[in-house]
Structure 1
Amino acid sequence: MTHEGEGVGRADGFTLFVQGALPGERVKAKVLKVKKQYGYAKQLELLQSSPDRVDAPCPIYKQCGGCQLQHMGYDAQLRWKRQHVVDNLVRIGKLPVAGTMEQGGASSGERPAVIVHPTIGMDNPWRYRNKAQVPIGMAMASLEGGAGGGLIGGFYARGSHRIIDMDECLIQHEQNDEVVRRVKEIGKRLGITAYDEESGRGLLRHVVVRTGFISGEIMVVLVTNGRKIPHADQWIEGIREAIPGVTSIVQNINTRTTNVIFGDETRTLWGSDVIYDELDGIRFAISARSFYQVNPAQTVELYRKAVEYAGLTGSENVIDAYCGIGTISLFLARQAGQVYGVEIVPEAIEDAKRNAELNGIDNASFESGPAEVVIPRWRKEGIAADVIVVDPPRKGCDTALLETILAMKPERVVYVSCNPSTLARDLRVLEDGGYRTVEVQPVDMFPHTVHVESVALLVRKDM
């Protein structure tokens, strides 16, 4: 399988990518597109089935682009995700991995092989998402001036911007489904129009729902193409009546021609600016645009592993690059001497400061700016780091940040990653600069999708 979950098969030695096919299967497929060395095909008939194949429980799974692996048994998903991490470490990172043909590395016995643990999965890998981001469109009858119609909302079809309308998503918290359903109903009743990407007209672009798994608090965010909302009071009243648990109704204004969900301006229409939730006993204030992990149960597993890899005794200075709203920082602060968090988004830093205060944590400080600029300045100011923790976006660490880590020479580096390929690339840089990757723990944050989170431990080779 590819990293996007497509089956990789061969017909007369020619490579074809087939959506929905699993390793070990034989399929009859229609070739759709051919390039010089590979092509794409559509599965017509399953001739030999994999023992890992299961029936996908979602009725719109084949049309919807939200999940890619529902046709694969969960244990097999976990094994595949670990292998995906291993393959990237070996191929891109050129790292010796225990249990693989390449475990000896460049010269056998030169260094211990990297241990890649089995993926940490969920007991119940459904209904795990605390945040829904649903694009909104118009039903065809409305577009053609016919009867019926109204607002539709759901995930995009695979490889397109065509919305597959849905009332239920099996990886979303049930409350999120209910909120989206109600907002669509109220919008239809009030004659609210949906944004049209081609014309740039229409009002409602996305409905974003955040649910606190522990607190039960709900935030509804209406992302609109303009500030003015027709019948705003009726809409707010309708949402409050239909959704008793709602504590925050927020508008985000995005008038740009872009696929990015949020615009720069956010205003609270009713209730609080934030909702609250907990991770492992730490309370967090979450605003409309805060980055907050979508799977709370697995986030606790991931961050506990990051703290374990940090090897804290209570006296260490820890730098948390890409700290966001302070989630990992506050986990670390419970066992560290002092934590310094840096994040490029100013609003996230304000949230981080508020979250530290909310939990009575006074050994964590936060600063806004690029990590590769702020951390070298801290170094000049005499701040040394025993441990540096990074949790970068999918593109991985900035080159200047990697150079800064190598210059600061912390005893340990803990790398939290949502992208195995950029993880492997950055581990190679750190290895060449004097570090050794000891172990990697994959964590299944997004069951039934191709995404896998990992946390890696590196130590200085001279220690």
Structure 2
Amino acid sequence: MEKNQEFVVAIEDMNEDGAGVGRVDGYIWFVKDTVMGDVVRAKAMKMKKTYGFARLMEVLEPSPGRAEPLCPVAKQCGGCQLQAMSYEEQLRFKERKVLNNLLRIGKFSRDEIEMLPIIGMEKPWRYRNKAQFPFGENKEGEIITGFYAGRTHNIIENEDCLLGVEENREILGIIKRFMKENGLRPYSEKEHKGLVRHALIRKGFRTGELMVCLVINGERLPKKERLAELLLQVKGMTSISYSMNREKTNVIMGKEIVDIYGPGYITDYIGAVKYQISLLSFYQVNPDQTEKLYRTALEFAELTGDEVAWDLYCGIGTISLFLAQRAKMVYGVELVTEAIRDAKKNAEINGIRNVEFFVGRAEEVLLEEYEKNGLYADVIVLDPPRKGCDELCLNTILKMGPKRVVYISCNSATLSRDLRYLADGGYRIERVRCCDMFPGTYHVEVVIMMTYCGDKKK
């Protein structure tokens, strides 16, 4: 086989990133945009010693799990990897992915894992409450915006992503009109010139409140009052700002934010709890599924009203305030100062007093409060970033010995690694449940309940 040679392959499996996997004469091929059960014609693009990557040229025999993507740019855009799968097949793929990682990385046996049915969506579209749109120019010099193609910074023009809210299209149209009216050019990464880099748009699904922030390569936004005037025509517009980012960087937001209109935040609800969400706050992008995710975590925590619970990596207090409805006391820990400020404000807004928040690294705060101040835990809830937990944090959990650990993760690989560490320290998995927070993509959230059994690995 040589590069650019075409061949026929049956797709027998899927890798973690949602690419189809097939074999030809024992050689492994990864083919993007294929589905397990497809027979396809593909072209060899890149070859290693034992495996290669190929481009889908034609589907010869479609899998029963194949679906026609609704998005016209699904194949070019890097945002959705699974639109060629039916939604039912997507859910099965995500459950398999999590289970395989628990078996392979976590070294758990199948009978140690009770997998509850994945929580899917009735309507897996228009679920994202936040989006960030880069601006650029097409070959004709016209202003465009959309999303980056996979593994590139080439903009695929798309102002109405079907995962995002319908208001995105209207808002982006207004920003482009404002730029044309005032001769403002989009930013060029290559030349480090041009003013407008990105637009960040956020919506509170329950409140209907909208936030818009323009990220600029400069210190001021000309005619900013005119931009506010135009954006205020959009129903629900609550906060308008710009962020200054003059660095040569892939980081979107700048370090300084200037409010043009409104309080600098929006509000939304998860269940009965109201949250204040500032521009840089971490807030789950799928609010409908977030409520189901947190209710699952609350169920796994098995709180009766007498327990002390810790919420590590608590963000703006979303899980902490959920736990506080049933716990005696909740302690939340988060590294980002602004997030803790929002968390305290959210507790105040909801009249929740049995919660206290700490700024700092989870592993350091937990250890200090346990060893120096004698704070204990009946239940610890973890929701770390994709890299998982620090070993010091896991060691402190083992020292504290809570009755239950509830681990929420968006990366089942690092989750499996951390669960093995806890299992070797005396914990066992009781229940596992996936929640599909990101339909159309290979990402999936997982909630795990572990209980202390004292069976430590020697």
**TM-score of Structure 1 vs Structure 2, range by shorter chain:** over 0.9
> Which residue identity does 1:345 align to in structure 2?
V
Contact kept in structure 1, 2:41 and 2:60, CA below 8 Å? yes
> Match for 2:406 among 414, 421, 425?
414
1:395 aligns with 2:387: yes
Distance 1:367 1:263 in 2: 25
Distance 2:55 2:330 in 1: 52
Q: Give 1:91's aligned residue.
A: 104
Of 181-190 and 444-453, more deviation after overlay is shown by 181-190
Distance 1:231 1:170 in 2: 31
Report deviation, 1:45.
1.8
TM-score w.r.t. length of structure 1: 0.93
Q: Which has the higher strand share?
A: 2
1:116 aligns with 2:103: no
Q: Give 1:66's aligned residue.
A: 79
Q: Give 1:452's aligned residue.
A: 444
1:336 aligns with 2:335: no
Contact kept in structure 1, 2:130 and 2:203, CA below 8 Å? yes
Distance 1:267 1:367 in 2: 27
Q: Give 2:300's aligned residue.
A: 309
1:128-168 Cα shifts (integer Å, max 9, x gaps): 111111111123222xxxxxx1x211111122110011121
Report deviation, 1:37.
1.4
> Which residue identity does 1:397 align to in structure 2?
C
Equivalence map 1:209-224=2 (5 Å):
209-224=201-216
1:157 aligns with 2:143: no
Q: Give 1:283's aligned residue.
A: 274
1:131 aligns with 2:130: yes
> Match for 1:25 among 15, 38, 47?
38
Q: Give 2:252's aligned residue.
A: 261
Distance 2:305 2:173 in 1: 48
> Match for 2:362 among 359, 368, 371?
371
Distance 2:172 2:15 in 1: 33
Q: Give 1:189's aligned residue.
A: 181
Contact kept in structure 2, 1:250 and 1:288, CA below 8 Å? no
Q: Give 1:12's aligned residue.
A: 25
Report deviation, 1:63.
1.0
1:437 aligns with 2:429: yes
1:186-227 Cα shifts (integer Å, max 9, x gaps): 222222211111221111111011111111111101111222
Contact kept in structure 1, 2:159 and 2:168, CA below 8 Å? no
Q: Give 2:7's aligned residue.
A: none
Q: Give 2:6's aligned residue.
A: none
Distance 2:409 2:243 in 1: 29
Distance 1:181 1:2 in 2: 38
Q: Give 2:238's aligned residue.
A: 247
Distance 1:158 1:371 in 2: 33
Q: CA RMSD in A?
A: 1.2
SS of the equivalent of 1:389 reads: strand
> Which residue identity does 2:175 align to in structure 1?
V
Distance 1:5 1:376 in 2: 39
> Which residue identity does 2:427 align to in structure 1?
Y
Report deviation, 1:233.
2.0
Q: Tell me how many residue pairs correspond in the alignment.
A: 441
Of 403-412 and 263-272, more deviation after overlay is shown by 263-272
Equivalence map 1:96-107=2 (5 Å):
96-97=109-110, 103=111
Of 189-198 and 67-76, more deviation after overlay is shown by 189-198
Contact kept in structure 1, 2:204 and 2:210, CA below 8 Å? yes
Distance 1:275 1:292 in 2: 11
Report deviation, 1:361.
0.2
Contact kept in structure 2, 1:119 and 1:444, CA below 8 Å? yes
> Which residue identity does 2:403 align to in structure 1?
E
Report deviation, 1:182.
2.2
> Which residue identity does 2:238 align to in structure 1?
T
> Match for 1:41 among 47, 50, 54?
54
Contact kept in structure 2, 1:79 and 1:118, CA below 8 Å? no
Distance 2:308 2:169 in 1: 43
> Match for 1:82 among 84, 87, 95?
95
Contact kept in structure 1, 2:221 and 2:242, CA below 8 Å? no
Q: Give 1:206's aligned residue.
A: 198
SS of the equivalent of 2:394 reads: helix
> Which residue identity does 1:11 align to in structure 2?
V
> Which residue identity does 1:361 align to in structure 2?
I
Runs of 4+ in 1 over 4 A off after TM superposition: none
> Which residue identity does 1:334 align to in structure 2?
Q
Q: Give 2:10's aligned residue.
A: none
1:56 aligns with 2:79: no
Q: Give 2:172's aligned residue.
A: 180
> Which residue identity does 1:267 align to in structure 2?
V
SS of the equivalent of 1:164 reads: strand
1:235 aligns with 2:227: yes
Of 26-35 and 345-354, more deviation after overlay is shown by 26-35
Q: Give 5+ residue unaligned stretches, structure 2.
A: 1-13
Of 165-174 and 76-85, more deviation after overlay is shown by 165-174
SS of the equivalent of 1:315 reads: coil
Q: Give 1:108's aligned residue.
A: none
Distance 1:365 1:272 in 2: 25
Distance 2:311 2:235 in 1: 38
Distance 1:226 1:333 in 2: 43
1:376-409 Cα shifts (integer Å, max 9, x gaps): 1111201110001010011111111111111111
Contact kept in structure 2, 1:353 and 1:366, CA below 8 Å? yes
Q: Give 1:109's aligned residue.
A: none
SS of the equivalent of 2:407 reads: strand
> Which residue identity does 1:246 align to in structure 2?
M
Give % identity. Answer: 50
SS of the equivalent of 2:341 reads: helix
> Which residue identity does 1:133 align to in structure 2?
Q
SS of the equivalent of 2:348 reads: helix
Distance 1:417 1:275 in 2: 26
TM-score w.r.t. length of structure 2: 0.94
Distance 1:177 1:420 in 2: 34
Report deviation, 1:3.
1.1
Q: Give 1:359's aligned residue.
A: 350
Contact kept in structure 1, 2:37 and 2:65, CA below 8 Å? no
1:250-276 Cα shifts (integer Å, max 9, x gaps): 111222222121122122111111111
Distance 1:308 1:182 in 2: 44
